[in-house]
Amino acid sequence: MTTTVIISIFLAIFATSLQNARGATMEPCLESMKTASLPDLPYAYDALEPAISEEIMRLHHQKHHQTYVTQYNKALNSLRSAMADGDHSSVVKLQSLIKFNGGGHVNHAIFWKNLAPVHEGGGKPPHDPLSSAIDAHFASLEGLIQKMNAEGAAVQGSGWVWFGLDRELKRLVVETTANQDPLVTKGSHLVPLIGIDVWEHAYYPQYKNARAEYLKNIWTVINWKYASDVFEKHTRDLDIN
């Protein structure tokens, strides 16, 4: 008799805990939501000199990117609460904070990989297949660089200039986005190969208002290997299809 009672109690507790677990797994995406974290820079802060100064790299990585990460996580947290509460007004209101800070995180995470010290291949032109693709779309590597620099210089206010792959149309493009909008906001089939930050914080301590000079110099530390890897990965997928 006592054994039955104990077993019943045990089963009751087990059933309750199952219920709780089920309650939790009703919203798995919220419970297991991963927050963002500041990625390490793949090189020393002074490794991109003289194209980009150590001072800029420190501020850009430790202050600006870190702030985007912190604010993005904060916004995600608020979003989690709002969703749990069914507070749809707040859910909608949080979107701009998420877009801005999340975009900042996404864009800068790509940016650090877009750059490399000269002794690690920074500035070294791409090989095929990317090289031929560039020639086909922009006549030459210089042609692409000129277009990027012209578009980058023309961005009014804050934003980015991108060299990207359009997976749907199977071609290479140069695009700009405003503020921290990721490239995908210009088209869901766009894959960023190289992004160049043209916010003033990206160049001001060193270049002041001379954005064109910053754009000219940054090509000496652009990591074409990363761009090639991403390009090849996505065009392999396309070929298989």
Partner 1 sequence: MMSVAVTAISSSLSYSPLLLPSQGPKRRMQWKRNDKRQFSRKVAVSGVITAGFELKPPPYPLDALEPHMSRETLDYHWGKHHRTYVENLNKQIVGTDLDTLPLEEVVLLSYNRGNMLPAFNNAAQAWNHEFFWESIQPGGGGKPTGELPRLIERDFGSFEEFLERFKSAAASNFGSGWTWLAYKANRLDVANAVNPLPKEEDKKLVIVKTPNAVNPLVWDYSPLLTIDTWEHAYYLDFENRRAEYINTFMERLVSWETVSTRLESAMARAVQREQEGTETEDEENPDDEEPEVYLDSDIDVSEVD
Contact criterion met (CB below 8 Å) for 229 and 191: no
Q: Is 234 annotated as a binding residue?
A: no
- Residue 63, interface with partner 1 (CB under 8 A)? yes
The Cα–Cα gap between 188 and 173 comes to 13
Is 197 marked as binding a ligand?
Answer: yes
Considering the complex, state which of residue 44 and residue 178 has its C-beta at the smaller distance from partner 1: 178
The tokens for 171 are: 């071609």
CA distance 64 to 207: 18
CB nearer partner 1, residue 156 or residue 188: 156
Among 150, 169, 178, 238, binds partner 1 (CB under 8 A): 178
Stretch that binds partner 1, among 8-16, 32-40, 61-69, 225-233 (CB under 8 A): 61-69
Distance, in Å, from the CA atom of 112 to the CA atom of 206, rounded to the nearest integer, reads 18
Q: Which is closer to partner 1, CB of 207 or CB of 226?
A: 207
> Which of 120, 147, 184, 204 contacts partner 1 by CB under 8 A?
204
One of 3, 4, 156, 241 touching partner 1 (CB under 8 A): 156
Judged by CB under 8 A, which of 88, 93, 170, 201 binds partner 1? 201
- Residue 60 assigned ligand-binding role: yes
Strand partners, 164: 173, 192
Count of residues of this chain found to bind partner 1 when the rule CB under 8 A is applied: 20
Name the one range near partner 1 by CB under 8 A: 43-51, 60-68, 145-153, 166-174: 60-68
10 CB burial (10 A radius; 0-12, 13-18, 19+): exposed
137 labeled part of a ligand binding site: no
For residues 159 and 176, the answer to whether their CB atoms sit within 8 Å is yes
CA neighbor of 136 nearest in space, from 240, 235, 237, 241: 235
Q: Is 180 in the site for partner 1 (CB under 8 A)?
A: yes
**Cis bond before residue 28 (omega within 30° of 0):** no
Single-letter amino acid code for the residue at 7? I
For residue 167, state whether it binds partner 1 (rule: CB under 8 A).
Answer: no
Q: What is the DSSP string of 217-228?
A: HHGGGB-HHHHH
Q: Which residues bind partner 1 (CB under 8 A)?
A: 59, 63-64, 67, 96, 100, 156-159, 178-180, 199-201, 204-205, 208-209
